[in-house]
Chain A
């Protein structure tokens, strides 16, 4: 009986922890739900049941609502992209911001093996609310050492803010990250940028569990132009 009560309390606490921030955000008159368009799933079911402390558990359930400041817009559409691999063998760099999210062939760009980065120029400094990334969602795979940074410096030498880092052993040399690795799905990875300010978004990765290449289907950067 006592065990059941404890379990019920724990379940209630977990639910509250998940719901209360949403409710708080919902009640915040300056916030609104970020409207996202997802591509169709390219594989059915959940991937092989891998459980380690650094890998996010796949629930199979859709992501909940995500709240951003009112007036938040998609800032990255058709914006210029450059990368550490300027001559990709597959795809073009502009695929990353062309608005096409499909996981099929012909919609992704492939950067070379090992550590590579890709950078989007928003054209002007902005307050970033969220970044949504689809590396490659035709197959359940995990991209290694995913790091996302924001800066006003195009060379990322000063004023760099890391908004996501799952490099848990500092392989990339950009600091140890506490974020979890995740399995790619059609939902993409939605990163809370917490209003980080910058004109440039740089995304790192270092191969994946299927091969040592780095892929991007689409990256969407949402925010408010900085005042």
Chain B
């Protein structure tokens, strides 16, 4: 494949990825994690305040890197923010992740790199989490930036590569605590690739020097310090980032509600059926296995290298294949071994599967000699790509909040948007408008994402118990979780109009609207009803 074709294919992959990632970013209701982080970002936007919280919310990069998006859209307050401003940030990094694979063209070959770009662009899961205001896609971008820079550092050591790898490692660390798992997998992957790629090979050159190592470490530490210290305002942040590992280690092993079997991620990718819909990324998974097999070729002494790797650069190419395959497989094993599992945690190693799938597709096309057979494989690959596009549209456009979608996890139900709409509707009829008093009585886990949706309301109170919330009668709007709703309904009698709404699967809340306010709203909704049969 020549350079022009390769660049053209990358361009097509990037356009496809952009179309899938940037379209209708407001389609899915905000997940409670997204809402929580959006409100946290709102504080940074409005007052410049941010301090790393070692107990939750992961690292600072997501918040700081959202600032340019808000500035670009002229949004200066939490109330002014919208879903598009927030979600465009991971979407851009999702696009960047694909562009990163351009740095692999000389490592794994142009065909394999272009294939990797396509599989990453079309992957339903990688698209889904690129459209979510969570850390995962930024983390995958920094992690893969680091892995690629590290690989090049070992193939052709230089100070620039050491610093680049260090900065990217620092950014990955400042994004998610699980970056240490990437570092561990990368170290093991390097070792496996180095040892297995035939000592004595003429291509095997010098290792990076200690100076390179020190430069990389210094760059990583400086980058992490900048972010964790809130740009020197909270020096303690970097210490907190280290002590946080105790909590995260406990969370990883004592997963509670998030505990899943070891094959949780593999099952999602291989295929699941749910109420009439079949979900799969088996195309990527299958080709990734082929890619891993291609990387293994030549492991045994005396095995000949594939023809395309023959030549002076043969060692580095074999090293790259094995480094990428070993790191990806190790990452998937580590994440699968942890009891704590959420579907977005597969993003870093799924990006690796996309790379291996590119390698696998390229190897298959090269391995098959007869033209007709090769054409048949190409058609099958195109059919696989078409299946991924269909799955992608199903996951991200048709069923983005549907519990049947395997990428959906504790997602806010679309039904909840009716509750939000109704509060906004009745506020129009209240003399105080958005300064109308709203009482929310629910456990902390059930209070979100309401603070995001009521961000422009000025008198919203959140309580975790009825006693603290005070008198209900006379309150224009009350939102209560089910355990409190029955008590309120029994005590308030007919003074409220009550209706229930689904918050998440198996979680409902009741909206109480002052009867007078409700009647006012209902009058506005009256259109001449058609003939109704009298009983």
- What is A's interface to B at a CB cutoff of 8 Å? 48-55, 89-91, 105-106, 108, 110, 112-113, 138, 144, 149, 160-163, 165, 168-171, 173-176, 178, 194, 196, 207-213
Give the CA-CA distance A89 to B422 in the complex, in Å.
30
> Do B531 and A160 touch (CB < 8 A)?
yes
> Do B499 and A54 touch (CB < 8 A)?
yes
B483-498: CB near A (< 8 Å → 1, else 0) gives 0011001000000011
B384 interface hit (Cβ, 8 Å): no
Q: Which of A49, A112, A161, A210 lies in contact with B502, CB distance below 8 A?
A: A210
Give the CA-CA distance A106 to B413 in the complex, in Å.
24
Closest Cβ neighbor of B512 among chain A residues: A52
Number of interchain pairs (Cβ within 8 Å): 107
B130 interface hit (Cβ, 8 Å): no
> Do B525 and A106 touch (CB < 8 A)?
no
A175 and B414 in contact, given A54-B499, A210-B502 (Cβ under 8 angstroms): no
Interface residues of B in 411-435 (CB under 8 A from A): 413-415, 418, 422
How many residues of chain B have a CB within 8 Å of chain A? 42
> Do A196 and B533 touch (CB < 8 A)?
yes
Q: Which of B275, B401, B530, B533 lies in contact with A105, CB distance below 8 A?
A: B275
> Do B502 and A174 touch (CB < 8 A)?
no
A164 vs chain B, min Cβ distance (A): 10
Interface pairs A-B: 8 shortest CB-CB: A175-B529, A209-B502, A212-B414, A170-B525, A90-B276, A211-B402, A52-B498, A105-B276
Q: Which of B394, B499, B502 lies in contact with A168, CB distance below 8 A?
A: B499
Give the CA-CA distance A106 to B276 in the complex, in Å.
6
Q: Which of A54, A161, A175, A211 lies in contact with B413, CB distance below 8 A?
A: A211
> Do A90 and B277 touch (CB < 8 A)?
yes
Give the CA-CA distance A52 to B498 in the complex, in Å.
6
> Do B498 and A53 touch (CB < 8 A)?
yes
- What is B's interface to A at a CB cutoff of 8 Å? 273, 275-277, 394, 398-399, 401-404, 413-415, 418, 422, 482, 485-486, 489, 497-502, 505-506, 508, 510, 521-522, 525-533, 535
Residues of A contacting B510 in the complex (Cβ-Cβ under 8 angstroms): 50, 52
A50 and B500 in contact, given A113-B414, A162-B529, A173-B527 (Cβ under 8 angstroms): yes
Residues of B contacting A91 in the complex (Cβ-Cβ under 8 angstroms): 276
Give the CA-CA distance A209 to B403 in the complex, in Å.
11
> Do B525 and A169 touch (CB < 8 A)?
yes
> Do A211 and B525 touch (CB < 8 A)?
no
> Do B528 and A175 touch (CB < 8 A)?
yes
Residues of B contacting A163 in the complex (Cβ-Cβ under 8 angstroms): 533
> Do A209 and B508 touch (CB < 8 A)?
yes
> Do B499 and A211 touch (CB < 8 A)?
no
> Do B533 and A162 touch (CB < 8 A)?
yes
Give the CA-CA distance A168 to B530 in the complex, in Å.
14
Closest Cβ neighbor of B529 among chain A residues: A175
| Most chain A beta carbons < 10 A, residue from B422, B485, B498, B525 | B525
B276 vs chain A, min Cβ distance (A): 4
> Do B531 and A162 touch (CB < 8 A)?
yes
A176 and B498 in contact, given A161-B533, A211-B413 (Cβ under 8 angstroms): no
Q: Which of B277, B486, B525 lies in contact with A51, CB distance below 8 A?
A: B486
> Do B532 and A175 touch (CB < 8 A)?
yes
Residues of A contacting B529 in the complex (Cβ-Cβ under 8 angstroms): 162, 165, 174-176
> Do A162 and B530 touch (CB < 8 A)?
yes
Residues of B contacting A48 in the complex (Cβ-Cβ under 8 angstroms): 482, 506, 508
> Do A210 and B486 touch (CB < 8 A)?
no
> Do A144 and B415 touch (CB < 8 A)?
yes
Give the CA-CA distance A138 to B505 in the complex, in Å.
14
A211 and B498 in contact, given A90-B277, A110-B276, A162-B530 (Cβ under 8 angstroms): no
B441 vs chain A, min Cβ distance (A): 16
> Do A174 and B508 touch (CB < 8 A)?
no
Give the CA-CA distance A209 to B499 in the complex, in Å.
12
A208 and B275 in contact, given A52-B499, A52-B510 (Cβ under 8 angstroms): no
Residues of B contacting A165 in the complex (Cβ-Cβ under 8 angstroms): 529, 532
Give the CA-CA distance A55 to B498 in the complex, in Å.
10
> Do B402 and A144 touch (CB < 8 A)?
no
A81 vs chain B, min Cβ distance (A): 18
